[in-house]
Amino acid sequence: GNSVTQMEGPVTLSEEAFLTINCTYTATGYPSLFWYVQYPGEGLQLLLKATKADDKGSNKGFEATYRKETTSFHLEKGSVQVSDSAVYFCALSDQTGANNLFFGTGTRLTVIP
Amino acid sequence: DAGVIQSPRHEVTEMGQEVTLRCKPISGHDYLFWYRQTMMRGLELLIYFNNNVPIDDSGMPEDRFSAKMPNASFSTLKIQPSEPRDSAVYFCASSRTEGNTIYFGEGSWLTVV
């Protein structure tokens, strides 16, 4: 079946620190992989995605590379800001046409000045 | 382009009352999803539609929950009667068949007292 395992939170970092949030997946076939972000009091926003192996998704300084050999899609950012404080969700799409998403449990990031 | 539009954004209701949540998907999208988010269970898919037809409602928790999509631009999620354990954020989302990105609304924050 399809599932996503995400790094447990919460994560607290100082401003300008390096961020890694681990995500691994189990899937049949060749899923697309996503990172969504949820800022306090808001809905989920697509942060980045990758649709095939070795693709790198990037947005707002965040990056994640689709690693088929390790079934991973770790989120990274070189220098976090206070405004990056949010909950980050890793997800995969089962590519059955419905594009239904399977979400990880979310990782709460707090960046302190 | 307008995103997924949900209403109400916030609702507080008494136990036993009927609750109706509304969603307008992105124009041209043929898939519509309803998700529920709680602290205990994270993000759960309740039901999804394709071309206004319910495809998978296995995530609907019980008969008190029902969802309809009378046309391509409108869907409702109804809870009758509501219970305190239904308190959650309910997200509507939509996508296109040929795309593989699901776009979320800002959510309806429901509190049942």
Q: pLDDT digit string (tens) for A52-90? A: 899 999 999 999 999 999 999 999 999 999 999 999 999
- Pick from B97, B100, B104: CB nearest A44: B104
- Pick from B48, B106, B107: CB nearest A98: B48
Binary contact (B42, A105; C-beta < 8 A): yes
Q: Is B34 on the interface with A (CB under 8 A)?
A: no
Entry field: residues in chain A: 113
pLDDT digits (tens, 9 = 90+) for A6-51: 988 899 999 999 999 999 999 887 888 999 999 988 889 999 999 8
Q: For residue A7, give the nearest of A96, A91, A101, A90 by alpha carbon.
A: A90
Average pLDDT over chain B, rounded to an integer? 93
Taking residues A96-101, report their average pLDDT.
67
Instruction: Tell me the C-alpha distance between A57 and A66, whole Å.
Output: 8
Q: For residue B86, give the 3-state DSSP assignment.
A: helix
User: Which residues does chain A have within 8 Å of residue B43's beta carbon, measured at their own beta carbons?
Assistant: 89, 103, 106
Binary contact (B104, A42; C-beta < 8 A): no
Residue A79 CA to its chain's centroid (Å): 16
Q: And the tokens for A56?
A: 């790198």
Instruction: Tell me the C-alpha distance between A46 and A65, whole Å.
Output: 16
Cβ–Cβ under 8 Å, residues B111 and B17: no
Predicted confidence band at A98 (pLDDT cuts at 50, 70, 90)?
A: low
Task: Determine the residue among A30, A34, A44 to mutate to test chain B binding: the one whose Cβ has the most chain B Cβ atoms within 10 Å.
Answer: A44
Instruction: Tell me the C-alpha distance between A97 and B65, whole Å.
Output: 25
**For the residues of A36-102, what is the DSSP string, one character each?**
EEE-TTS-EEEEEEE-STT-EEEETTEEEE-BTTTTB--EEESS--GGG-EEEEEEEE--SSS--EE
Residue B98's pLDDT is: 64
Tens of pLDDT along chain B (113 residues) come to 689 999 999 999 999 999 999 999 999 999 999 999 998 888 889 999 999 999 989 899 889 999 999 999 999 999 999 999 999 999 999 988 766 688 999 999 999 99
Chain B nearest C-alpha distance from A101 (Å): 8
Strand order in the sheet with B5-7: B5-7, B19-24, B74-79, B65-71
- Pick from B45, B55, B100: CB nearest A93: B100
A29: alpha, beta or left? (left if phi > 0; alpha if psi -120 to 50): left
Who contacts B76 (Cβ-Cβ below 8 Å, separation ≥6)? B20, B21, B22, B23, B67, B68, B69
- Pick from A43, A51, A105: CB nearest B107: A43
A97 to chain B: closest CA residue: B97
